[in-house]
Amino acid sequence: MRELRLAKSMTQQQLADATGMHRVSINKMEHGQLDVGVSNVTALASALGVDANELFSKGPTSA
C-alpha cells in the first residue's frame, strides 16, 4: 500500500483524508500492524486509483 501511495505522490494524511480514515491507521496498515479490513479496501483502492486486488500484491502491477 505504501508503494501505491508514494507512486501517487500522496502523504499518509492525504490518503487518510481521501478515505475518511485516521493517519495513524494508514501508518499501521503500511507497517503490517493493522489489517486493512474488508470495509476499507474499496475506499483505499478508490483513493489510490487502483483495483482492490492491487492492495494485496507485493507492488504495483503492470498493465
pLDDT tens readout for residues 8-27: 999 999 999 999 999 999 99
pLDDT tens readout for residues 41-63: 999 999 999 999 988 876 544 44
**pTM of the complete model:** 0.82
Could you give the CA distance from residue 28 to residue 48 in angstroms, rounded to a whole number?
Answer: 17
The domain segmentation of the chain, as residue ranges, is: 2-56
Q: CA neighbours within 13 Å on the CB side: how many for 54? A: 20
Tell the CATH topology of 2-56.
434 Repressor (Amino-terminal Domain) (1.10.260)
Could you give the CA distance from residue 33 to residue 49 in angstroms, rounded to a whole number?
Answer: 23
**Residues contacting residue 33 through CB under 8 Å, at least 6 positions apart:** none
The enclosing H or E element of 47 equals helix 38-48
